[in-house]
């Protein structure tokens, strides 16, 4: 990419989340990720200088590269690089993409002032050698959310030990008009490692994707999806069947996603993997539609190298729960009020480097009293923030059909496909977000209790 010769006509709208907007290059396998601001937060109140914006993006990249990548595994994370783009280009780009943006995202505007962005590989595509087939790759993005029940002693509401956060949050979101239908997806089913439960979880995501599932180049309509998928699954069960029933096509597709989620991250692995097990009580959610009596082989665990296991391990760094973290946060706040200069030493706003990583690891042994008081408390908060990032990330799985003869012999489970798995959206969660999380947690739990239990 030649930064001095950027042309908005080479880029198109790709997607966006709450914080950033992404455009993809028409020819190259690249995307640009640009930050967004609340639209009422107009230029004059936005005091941020270009230099501050640059630091902010650099922080995001560092956090992904030096904190999340070592924790989640080199092969899954692509941190990209910070780029300074010509302002003309960014302004033209912003005008060009505006009409393609979904209405519900237009409460924010793209940053056209700093010219800073992140350049990343386009993870919806596979490197060219896999693309000999005429069919384009199929790409699935899953935002799995938190995959375990908390066990912290600090928890005050018993239902948090029985019903997972996602399932409780659904009731709150429905009441607030965020979504019109309850999702039947439960993250604990997806993270269970049981193929049956994962299958049900993925089916439920397909039926009500909300913002937890996205299939690229596809409408969220099941019959259209089946039409699109049919040519990829012509040889199902060894029979040539051009009129494969829709149900069978979907079922093949869901199984394919399942095995990518349980694999070591690409299609070239084999052998019996080592497993990650978490204790029985934390793996089933009472609100899941999957019938408990059907859980046959209890708790099969996740292959250690699988993307789900990597994400779950980092999510579980949240071992105190927000109810345990909030009091520590307040103590650090008090300390910082007294000693404001300590903010830098405690790396409250970064930089996200090796020493921050050590702080996160210190959090793990804080209880033994070997760590200085404020550093110890702050590191537990940092550890919580890292877990929060893992609870909010997305998994991107890209499948490309491949010819029988170039098919990998080890890939017997998914004949006809090669794939790659990545993790994206690994931004740091702001330190100041803790009080908000604390309030939100109690709102969600209280609402859940009120809406599911009849009043006496």
Task: Give φ, ψ of 391 to 5 degrees.
Answer: -80, -10
Contact 401, 256 (CB under 8 A): no
Question: Is 149 a binder of Zn ion (CB under 5 A)?
Answer: no
In angstroms, what is the minimal distance from the CB of 214 to ligand ATP? 6
Question: Is 285 a binder of ligand ATP (CB under 6 A)?
Answer: no
Nearer to Mg ion, 17 or 289 (CB): 17
Considering only residues 171-190, where is the footprint of Zn ion by CB under 5 A?
A: 186
Question: Is 285 a binder of Zn ion (CB under 5 A)?
Answer: yes
Nearer to ligand ATP, 121 or 301 (CB): 121
C-alpha triplet 31, 35, 41: angle, nearest 5°: 155
Cα separations in angstroms, 235 against 333, 346, 365, 413:
61, 58, 54, 14
Nearer to Zn ion, 167 or 250 (CB): 167
Strand locations in 263-363 (E): 275-276, 302-303
Tell me the site size for ligand ATP, rule CB under 6 A.
22
Strand locations in 76-202 (E): 81-84, 108-110, 116-121, 138-142
The per-residue DSSP string of 63-111 comes to IIIIIIHHHH-TTTB---EEEE--HHHHHHHHHHHHTTS-GGGTTEEE-
Considering only 53-61, 118-126, 319-327, 354-362, which stretch makes contact with ligand ATP by CB under 6 A?
118-126
In angstroms, what is the minimal distance from the CB of 122 to ligand ATP? 5
Question: Is 311 a binder of ligand ATP (CB under 6 A)?
Answer: no
Cα separations in angstroms, 176 against 104, 288, 433, 441:
15, 21, 21, 15
Binder to ligand ATP among 23, 31, 116, 371 (CB under 6 A)?
A: 31
In angstroms, what is the minimal distance from the CB of 140 to Mg ion? 14
Could you give the CA distance from residue 338 to residue 332 in angstroms, rounded to a whole number? 10
Binder to ligand ATP among 33, 55, 165, 310 (CB under 6 A)?
A: 33
Question: Is 117 a binder of ligand ATP (CB under 6 A)?
Answer: no
Nearer to ligand ATP, 25 or 269 (CB): 25
Q: Of 319, 320, 352, 332, which is closest to residue 428 (Cα–Cα)?
A: 352
In angstroms, what is the minimal distance from the CB of 288 to Zn ion? 5
Nearer to ligand ATP, 16 or 252 (CB): 16
Contact 28, 34 (CB under 8 A): no
Give residues in contact with ligand ATP (CB under 6 A): 14-20, 22, 31, 33, 120-124, 141, 214, 392, 394, 424-425, 427
């Amino acid at each position: 990419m030649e930064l001095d010769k950027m042309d908005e006509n080479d880029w198109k709208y790709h997607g966006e989340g709450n914080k950033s907007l992404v455009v993809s290059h028409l020819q190259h396998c690249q995307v640009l990720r640009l930050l967004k601001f609340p639209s009422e937060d107009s230029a004059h109140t936005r005091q941020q200088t270009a230099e501050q914006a640059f630091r902010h993006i650099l922080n995001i990249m560092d956090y992904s590269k030096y904190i999340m990548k070592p924790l989640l595994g080199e092969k899954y994370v692509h941190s990209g690089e910070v780029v300074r783009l010509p302002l003309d280009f960014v302004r033209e780009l912003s005008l060009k993409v505006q009409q393609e943006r979904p209405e519900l995202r237009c409460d924010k505007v793209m940053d056209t002032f700093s010219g800073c962005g992140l350049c990343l590989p386009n993870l919806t595509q596979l490197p060219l050698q896999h693309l000999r087939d005429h069919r384009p790759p199929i790409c699935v993005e899953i935002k799995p959310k938190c995959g375990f029940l908390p066990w912290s002693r600090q928890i005050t509401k018993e239902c948090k030990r029985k019903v997972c956060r996602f399932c409780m949050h659904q009731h709150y979101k429905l009441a607030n008009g965020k979504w019109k239908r309850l999702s039947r997806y439960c993250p604990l089913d997806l993270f269970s490692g049981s193929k049956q439960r994962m299958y049900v979880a993925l089916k439920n995501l397909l039926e009500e994707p909300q913002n937890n599932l996205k299939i690229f180049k596809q409408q969220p309509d099941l019959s259209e999806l089946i039409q699109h998928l049919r040519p990829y699954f012509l040889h199902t069960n060894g029979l040539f069947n051009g009129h494969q029933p829709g149900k069978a096509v979907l079922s093949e597709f869901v199984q394919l996603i399942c095995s990518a989620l349980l694999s070591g991250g690409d299609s070239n692995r084999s052998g019996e993997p080592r497993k990650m097990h978490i204790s029985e009580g934390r793996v089933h959610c009472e609100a899941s539609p999957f019938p408990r009596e059907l859980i046959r082989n209890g708790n099969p665990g996740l292959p250690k190298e699988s993307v789900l296991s990597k994400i779950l391990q980092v999510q579980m760094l949240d071992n105190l729960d927000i109810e345990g973290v909030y009091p520590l946060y307040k103590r650090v706040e008090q300390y910082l009020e007294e000693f404001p200069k300590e903010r830098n030493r405690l790396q409250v706003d970064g930089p996200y480097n090796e020493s921050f990583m050590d702080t996160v690891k210190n959090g793990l042994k804080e209880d033994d009293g070997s760590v200085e008081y404020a550093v110890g408390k702050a590191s537990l908060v940092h550890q919580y923030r890292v877990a929060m990032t893992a609870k909010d990330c997305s998994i991107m799985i890209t499948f490309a059909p491949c010819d029988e003869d170039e098919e990998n012999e080890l890939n017997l489970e998914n004949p006809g496909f090669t794939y790659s798995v990545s993790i994206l959206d690994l931004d740091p969660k702001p330190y100041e977000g803790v009080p908000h999380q604390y309030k939100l947690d109690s709102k969600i739990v209280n609402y859940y209790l009120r809406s599911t239990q009849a009043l006496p």
